[in-house]
């Protein structure tokens, strides 16, 4: 299958849809955990950010506007880092206790497996933690752009691997799919020469 001239990798029926739904479920879980953490600890303080933004709006173009904006950015940065750390902890713990699956992946019948079936589980769990950390770094340091590119690679790589999957040599296996991923096809140019 191709889209805009880009050859999309083949996957089992419904695989990408279930992978997207797993992401949505994981995001909902993280939001729930963030809310519970906020109720218990008062951080991440998103309501405080809104109050600070309202104060900037009320101040208009006054002399204290810059100081108020700095407060908004400081509060938002702290809340964003706390949210990413909660996401990292939830994903890493989920992958450990659910044997290579976040809660969303577990519900959708997906599991993260090593490309090398001989990899030890200890090393695999360490690399799953690195995989989660890579997501966090991509989202924080580079404003999410590399994360977006990593997600797009799901559509064109063999076994629909995201960029962080390629880095740690894993793939998301479909436990419900009918058969394994199709073998990689070797494309031949029109003149018959191998690529």
pLDDT tens digits, 86-101? 999 999 999 999 999 9
Tens digits of per-residue pLDDT, 143-185?
777 777 777 777 777 788 888 888 899 999 888 865 555 443 3
- pLDDT category at 190 given cuts 50, 70, 90 is very low
Is the model's pLDDT at 187 over the cut of 50? no
The pTM (predicted TM-score) of the whole model is 0.78
3-state DSSP assignment of residue 3: strand
Mean pLDDT, residues 23-34 taken together: 94
- Closest by CA position to 174, among listed 1, 18, 10: 18
Rounded Cα distance, 96 and 108, in Å:
17
The pLDDT assigned to 139 comes to: 83
Rounded Cα gap, residues 76 and 27, in angstroms: 19
Measure the CA–CA gap between 3 and 164, rounded to whole angstroms: 23
Strands 170-174 and 110-114, sheet pairing:
antiparallel
Q: What SS3 class is residue 153? A: helix
Arithmetic mean of pLDDT, 12-38: 90
Q: What is the mean pLDDT of the chain?
A: 83
Spatial distance between the Cα atoms of 19 and 11, rounded to a whole number of angstroms: 11
Tokens of 164: 């962080």
């Amino acid at each position: 299958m191709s889209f805009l001239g880009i050859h999309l990798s083949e996957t089992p029926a419904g695989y990408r849809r279930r992978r997207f739904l797993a992401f949505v479920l994981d995001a909902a879980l993280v939001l729930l955990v963030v809310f519970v953490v906020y109720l218990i600890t008062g951080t991440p303080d998103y309501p405080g950010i809104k109050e600070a933004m309202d104060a900037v709006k009320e101040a208009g173009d006054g002399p204290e506007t810059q100081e108020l904006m700095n407060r908004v950015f400081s509060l938002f940065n702290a809340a964003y880092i706390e949210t990413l750390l909660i996401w990292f902890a939830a994903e890493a713990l989920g992958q450990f206790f659910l044997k290579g699956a976040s809660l969303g992946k577990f519900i959708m019948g997906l599991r993260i497996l090593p490309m090398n079936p001989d990899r030890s589980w200890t090393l695999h769990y360490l690399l799953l933690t690195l995989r989660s950390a890579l997501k966090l770094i991509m989202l924080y340091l580079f404003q999410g752009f590399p994360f977006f590119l990593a997600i797009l690679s799901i559509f064109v790589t063999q076994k629909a691997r995201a960029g962080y999957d390629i880095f740690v040599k894993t793939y998301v296996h479909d436990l419900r799919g009918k058969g394994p991923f199709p073998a990689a096809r070797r494309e031949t140019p029109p003149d018959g020469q191998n690529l």
